[in-house]
Structure 1
Amino acid sequence: MHPSYADVTAAADRISGQIRPVVMARADADTVPVDGQVWLALEHMQHTGSFKARGAANFTLAHREQGQLPKVGVTIASGGNAGVACAWATRLVDSAATVFLPDSAPVVKVNRLKALGAQVLSGGASYADAAADCQRYADVTGALRSHAYDDPYIAAGAGTLLDEIADQLPNLDTVVVSVGGGGLLTGITVAANHHGVRVVAVEPENCRAFNAALEAGHPVDVEIDSVAADSLGARRATAMALSAAAEGEVRSVLVSDADIIAARQSLWDTRRLAVEHAAATALAALHSGAYVPAHDERTAVIVCGANTDPSDLVGN
């Protein structure tokens, strides 16, 4: 069951004052070569460098309100960003985080976790391996198990981003969002359904968990092989995302790794924004023509994270 719009507004009240309101920037033709009116939602400027701070804060504060925050703290399996957000959020309540990472997690994210005081443990070769180790740890220690994306508090927190975008763009037609496991997509879609906004869900061609779930009519496992896999590499989309999508207008599109790399480079070239490949995936839909806004369409593209090593950006 996906969260309701009331859950999104409750999350907004709960995390108010703890997160940074999103900054919106009008995109010119150099950044987004389309005819429509396009804005960039610069959520990569959020605490911890990604939208994940919203859900993590909502999850942690809600459990504290309910008296369900154990002394041993919170544990999570993550490709990096959710773990960083969890570590940051536990500090809001004087708690601690134990984060299980797959061996492929980027060094920049590992270092950020350690700087936040998290206990960082190896979780094997894949996210699934890390998740299994995390569950075993929670079972043994009594730590509160959080999830990178499949949790209603996490999704509702993410949905607060769409409300902020809609407040700044009251005639918004479409929001374009990168998709991994579906936590951000769920929250964005729940809020978008309330506002009557179309959602374009963008995935790499070889990380297409949501796209495959739509085709099958239920969540299915997919193979993972993409430059954006460290953030978008979930093998299976959530049932929450499918449920929310069924209640509104959601279009699923796929982009190539080459499209993602080009979009990421363009953000650096035209705006001096150094973002993750996952964050550039949404923009890649417009760059590649996978999604073409109408001439009078008002579109927001979510730039969701910046925990990246920028050394591979040309002209750095």
Structure 2
Amino acid sequence: MSAENEIPVAYEQLEELEDDFEDVELEMLRYQHKLSKDLYARREKVIAQIPHFWPLVIEQSPPDIDEYIQPSDAGLLMNSLTGLSVERFELPDGDPRSIAIRWEFSENEHFENRVLEKKFYWRNAKDGWAGLVSEPVEIKWKPGKDLTNGMLDLVRQVYKDEDAGNKGETEAKKKLKAQMESTGLDGLSFFAWFGFRGPKITDEEHKEATKKEEERRKARKEGKKTDDDDQMEEDEDEDEYEWEIFPTADDLAVCIAEDLWPGAIKYFMAAQEQEAMSDLDFEDDSDEDMDGDEGKEDPPSKKRKA
């Protein structure tokens, strides 16, 4: 690059700006949570009086969510989902990006649980990585009704084995690998989402990494050169996603927390409008076919998007 085309702004200044933007976004999340908490409580009281509110919301869910719902998942969600809630459980003092998503169900043919809650913790790693981590959630499947075909139970066993210090090739890992290869992502049940784990980051590592990041930011603001600026390449871990049955579960969690949950009323109203339009079309068709069609069967009801 010639001297006349050299960038006059140091890259450290750009990184400092990125840090400041991130700080602002976090403050906005904290403030939004504070302002909307009572509104969500009021909304919960109102929608508790509306039958099938959450199934209708799921029915109109955006493509980023809908693409993961298999027909068998849709049947369960449409018939048995009774409640959904999102909580930024580490507030007021912790990170607002940590979220807990709680699903409530009525009695159904697939599992015994009435509540399934998955927590995602925002964590920093010593190699510079930052993101959401979780633990596999147990679903008590009824005999022959496991929508994940055993994958969720296997990923939980792998997680337990690793916690116990057994990181070699266990029987659970062999079975899980074979199951993942035979299933593929296209045939994956939505309920495999509960098996997401992410990198293993202890509380101690998170605290140390967070402190190190704060010191790095402080030094950068003071115009000091830090060793980390030359060494912030992430350590490549080939096994990071090897045992993930739902690798994009963290992205889906964010979509639920930042789109579906706050926009629930919008999606419910869209479902109502679609239902009204479908009924109107049905009435028009009935009027046109009134003469001479008494013996014909009624047309099928509209197909749900989910």
Q: One fold, TM greater than 0.5?
A: no
Q: Which has the larger radius of gyration?
A: 2
More strand by share: 1
Report the TM-score when normalising by structure 2: 0.23
TM-score w.r.t. length of structure 1: 0.22
